[in-house]
Amino acid sequence: MYKIIGADGREYGPVTVEQIQQWIREGRANVQTKVRPEGGTEWKALGELPEFSASFSGGGASPPAVPANAEALAAEINARSQDIDIASCISRGWNLVKNNFWRLMGTSLLIFLLIGGVGGALRAIVNLVMGVSWQVHTSLGPWDALRLQWPGILVNSLWNLFVSGALLGGLYNYYLKLMRGQPATLGDAFAGFSGAFVPLTLAHVVTGLLSGLASLCCLLPGIYLGVAWKFTLPLVIDKRLDFGEAMKLSRKTVTRQWWSVFALVLLAGLLSISGMIACCIGIFVTVPIGIASILYAYEDLFGAQPPAQNS
């Protein structure tokens, strides 16, 4: 039996060797996770102990995550009483960005450039090939300009449709690894294209489409669904759930404390806006903080929770 230090820095246990090995297989524990034998006094990293070191892949990296059992995971999550501490999420998000600024800023910028920048470039290229000037909107009415530019708009939309889910899922995967103290490389930011591309794409398209349609019918249902499905992509990339299972689990879990999640998402958005006001330079800080803050809320709601804390 072992005591273990959770992601929140608290001591939990006792837990069995089998339970810890299960967390390693699921990517919930890594080589740096601290444990000590029950009754012992010295804390050691899992990678230092022979009974656990064999569970890790070469180079000290965590093994690939295995798909979670959707029903068992939902039952475990629904049995929790974890609340969202907005101030704590933002504080932890700030600390993560402060300690990994260049990595998070560079990776986030790359992903958003691939989503928006490449799409915009493809639109411009298509319009150029079609002989449509980028200044056409200044000489024509909006509908005539739209009619001429629709091929470029279509290409831009298709690009975003098919890559945004995988790119955002990969970015969340990169953040989560850093948050958990796991080795994170640029390749982890593109993990959405290997094994989870289809469910991530479907999750992104379906949640966006349904939220948009709900907003057109009535703004409030659209806002509710947008917030309720906020953790769908992280659940797909992290727990390897199917997109429908992830949507269902995210909605059920968030609904219990919807206002707290809504407030956190709103504050993250306001942070991003404040960064844009600061000559747009501030977004290199505020956007990563917003993403990290929301993902810390995800960790609090869906992350690994060892057995009850030892008092």
pTM for the full predicted model: 0.75
Residue 27 has pLDDT above 80, yes or no: no
CB 80 within 8 A of CB 307: no
Domain, as residue range, for 42: 2-66
Domain assignment present for 74: no
Q: Do both 215 and 254 map to the same domain? A: yes
Which residues does 142 contact at the CB level (< 8 Å), separation at least 6?
none
Q: Do both 54 and 124 map to the same domain? A: no
Query: Mean pLDDT score of the chain, rounded to an integer?
Result: 83
Query: Which two tokens mark 194?
Result: 């290997």
Q: pLDDT (tens digit, 9 = 90+) per residue, 72-131?
A: 778 878 777 778 899 999 999 999 999 999 999 999 999 999 998 888 888 778 777 776
Q: What is the CA radius of gyration of the chain?
A: 22
Whole-number pLDDT of residue 63: 46
Query: Which two tokens mark 186?
Result: 């640029």
Q: Do both 99 and 53 map to the same domain? A: no
Q: Do both 154 and 297 map to the same domain? A: yes
Q: Do both 107 and 51 map to the same domain? A: no
Q: Do both 9 and 140 map to the same domain? A: no
Q: Determine whether 124 is exposed, middle or buried from the number of CB atoms within 10 Å of its CB (0-12, 13-18, 19+).
A: middle
φ and ψ at residue 14, rounded to 5 degrees: -75, 150
Which neighbouring-strand residues pair with 308?
Answer: none
- Say how far apart CA 68 and CA 236 lie, in whole Å: 10
Q: pLDDT (tens digit, 9 = 90+) per residue, 65-87?
A: 556 677 777 887 877 777 889 99
Which neighbouring-strand residues pair with 35?
Answer: 4, 44
**Overall number of domains in the chain:** 2
CA distances (Å), 191 to each of 30, 68, 247, in order? Answer: 18, 17, 20
Residue 310 has pLDDT above 70, yes or no: no
